[in-house]
Amino acid sequence: MTDRPNPPSSRGPLLSVEEALQRLLEGLAPAVQAVQQVPLEQADGRVLAQDVVAELDVPGFDSSQMDGYAVRCADVARAIEQGRPLPVAQRIAAGHFGVELAPGTVARIFTGAPLPAGADAVVMQEDAQPAEAPADAPQAPLGWIRVERAPQPGQWVRRRGEDVARGQVVLRAGQRLRAADLGVAASLGMASVPVWTRLRVALAPTGDELVQPGTVAPADLPPGVLYNSSRYVLVPLLQRLGFEVTVLPVLPDDREATEQALAAAALRHDAIVTTGGVSVGEADHVKPAVQALGALDLWQVSMKPGKPFMHGWIDRARLGGHGRCHVLGLPGNPVSSVVTLALLARAVLLRLAGAAVAAQLPPALWVRADFDWPRPDRRREFVRVRRNADGGVDLFPNQNSSVLTSVAWADGLVDIPGGTTVARGQWVAYRALDGWWD
Ligand SMILES: Nc1nc2c(c(=O)[nH]1)N[C@H]1C(S)=C(S)[C@@H](COP(=O)(O)OP(=O)(O)OC[C@H]3O[C@@H](n4cnc5c(N)ncnc54)[C@H](O)[C@@H]3O)O[C@H]1N2
Ligand code: MOO
């Protein structure tokens, strides 16, 4: 990444969310360096470090999809025409190979069993009836069947390689592995996968007003003091993204102490996520501290909540180390911190973790707004909503960025462009919050 000119100032036009994502991800290289081979059982959510190429076809052989009879379609058609039954010449169970199907015969076959050579379809047993042996026929120890309708070639046959073809790139480097991916890897015979080491993220809450729950009883809470609630939202979200998260003690509203704590954390982590202290007040020390230790890249985005979001880095060379430690400054209001983590910081952190991430928001679903939003804001708004049983979304009544119960109630965000309103019944862009963390 090259050094860039000054971040946009608070006085100029604010960056849009898309511009911010472009700027954040442009030239951003992964911070993780080592690859580890991890057993499939522990690989959920990890970032794949190398492409996985199939060494075999899956399935490895043509097989039956049903319990029934392996047949040659032409023979069945002829037998129907002549009104004759067909002899069952062999019996093939899953895990066993039969012999080539002799012309004019069928094979009893079970689901998953290999199709015998010569067979080109399977007739399920419900479509075949046991029949008497014709008087002029030789012995058939497994009996005779009669089929009413001629099958099409390929019917009820699971084709070799129809799931995965040998040589195919099945999983891509940079992909975050999900449960089904692990099953696919297992189907290729892999017991472990090469993944990047976990990104080491420090969460650094700031603010003299914060206390840890459990240290002061609600009845004894001094005026102006509140519990550090964001920590308990952000840590599980960061962990679900696959990071190794350390929580630092709350940083006081003090420039010197903020700088020292960030410097120490920068040497031991790939990225630091701060909360609070990024607005314009005198007690907002995160920005100047990052500037003193490295550089500020971006500050303030045209979004509500979340406007004061900040990104910068600490130059470890100044601290006797090497490389950069990225700092993502989330605004202090708890809702703003969740929304900026979802929309902006998540992409940066995942890229640092080695994941392939696009510089755009994930695609939205279009849903019906079952609410009015009559007062436009200059900033693009991300309002907390919940899908209802009628196929629309309801709005949480209090959209203040300090109201954390709005996030607890909501299952997603509706994206309202700056300067626009929403009328009940209108189609709006909805993004499920859950989708951001798996
Ligand atoms: N003059 C201006 N003032 C503000 C602006 C502005 O543009 N001009 N922006 C506002 C916006 S928007 C937001 S969002 C806030 C964010 O400010 P900070 O990031 O500096 O956050 P703080 O002031 O430190 O905290 C804001 C609020 O959140 C509470 N908080 C902080 N951390 C936690 C936590 N871990 N758990 C629970 N609650 C937390 C804090 O006590 C404050 O009440 O700035 C506006 N001001
Ligand atoms: O971003 Mo602030 O989050 O509008 O309150």
Nearest C-alpha to atom 2 of ligand 1 is from which residue? Answer: 280
**Pocket lined around ligand 2, Cβ cut-off 6 Å:** 304-307, 331, 333, 336, 401
Atom in ligand 2 nearest the alpha carbon of residue 379? 4
- Locate 55 and state its tokens: 């060494």
Please write the tens of the pLDDT for every residue from 67-120: 999 999 999 999 999 999 999 999 999 999 999 999 999 999 999 999 999 999
Measure the CA–CA gap between 129 and 148, rounded to whole angstroms: 9
Nearest C-alpha to atom 3 of ligand 2 is from which residue? Answer: 305
Angle at 129 between CA 128 and CA 131, to 5 degrees: 130
Percentage with pLDDT > 90 across the chain: 92
* Averaged pLDDT of the chain: 95
Pocket perturbation via mutation, ligand 2, pick of 10, 278, 333 by most ligand atoms within 8 A of CB? 333
- Whether 435 has a pLDDT exceeding 80, the answer reads yes
Residue 266 Cα to ligand 2 midpoint, Å, equals: 27
Which bound ligand lies closest to the C-alpha atom of 306? 2
Query: Across residues 285-295, what is the average pLDDT?
Result: 97
Would you say the CB of residue 333 lies under 6 angstroms from ligand 1? yes
Would you say the CB of residue 340 lies under 6 angstroms from ligand 1? no
Atom in ligand 1 nearest the alpha carbon of residue 304? 12
Q: What is the pLDDT of residue 30?
A: 97
Residue 229 Cα to ligand 1 midpoint, Å, equals: 13
- Whether 1 has a pLDDT exceeding 50, the answer reads no
Pocket perturbation via mutation, ligand 2, pick of 279, 338, 401 by most ligand atoms within 8 A of CB? 401
Query: Across residues 373-388, what is the average pLDDT?
Result: 97
Atom in ligand 2 nearest the alpha carbon of residue 400? 5
Q: What is the pLDDT of residue 2?
A: 47
Please write the tens of the pLDDT for every residue from 22-41: 999 999 999 988 999 999 99
Residue 139 Cα to ligand 1 midpoint, Å, equals: 89
Measure the CA–CA gap between 366 and 129, rounded to whole angstroms: 51
Nearest C-alpha to atom 2 of ligand 2 is from which residue? Answer: 305
Pocket perturbation via mutation, ligand 2, pick of 14, 307, 404 by most ligand atoms within 8 A of CB? 307
- Whether 175 has a pLDDT exceeding 80, the answer reads yes
Please write the tens of the pLDDT for every residue from 297-353: 999 999 999 999 999 999 999 999 999 999 999 999 999 999 999 999 999 999 999
Q: Is the distance from CB of 65 to CB of 93 less than 8 angstroms?
A: no
Q: What is the pLDDT of residue 7?
A: 59
Q: Which residue has the tokens 């297992």?
A: 186
Please write the tens of the pLDDT for every residue from 194-250: 999 999 999 999 999 999 999 999 999 999 999 999 999 999 999 999 999 999 999
Cis peptide before 59 (omega within 30 of 0): yes
Please choose, from the candidates 55, 49, 360, the residue with its C-alpha nearest in 3D space to the C-alpha of residue 175. Answer: 49
Measure the CA–CA gap between 341 and 259, rounded to whole angstroms: 22
- Whether 3 has a pLDDT exceeding 80, the answer reads no
Query: Across residues 357-363, what is the average pLDDT?
Result: 94
Which bound ligand lies closest to the C-alpha atom of 276? 1
Measure the CA–CA gap between 351 and 228, rounded to whole angstroms: 28
Pocket perturbation via mutation, ligand 1, pick of 232, 279, 307 by most ligand atoms within 8 A of CB? 279
Would you say the CB of residue 308 lies under 6 angstroms from ligand 1? yes
The domains located in the chain, with CATH, are 17-32+198-352 (3.40.980.10), 38-56+171-196 (3.90.105.10), 63-158 (2.170.190.11), 365-436 (2.40.340.10)
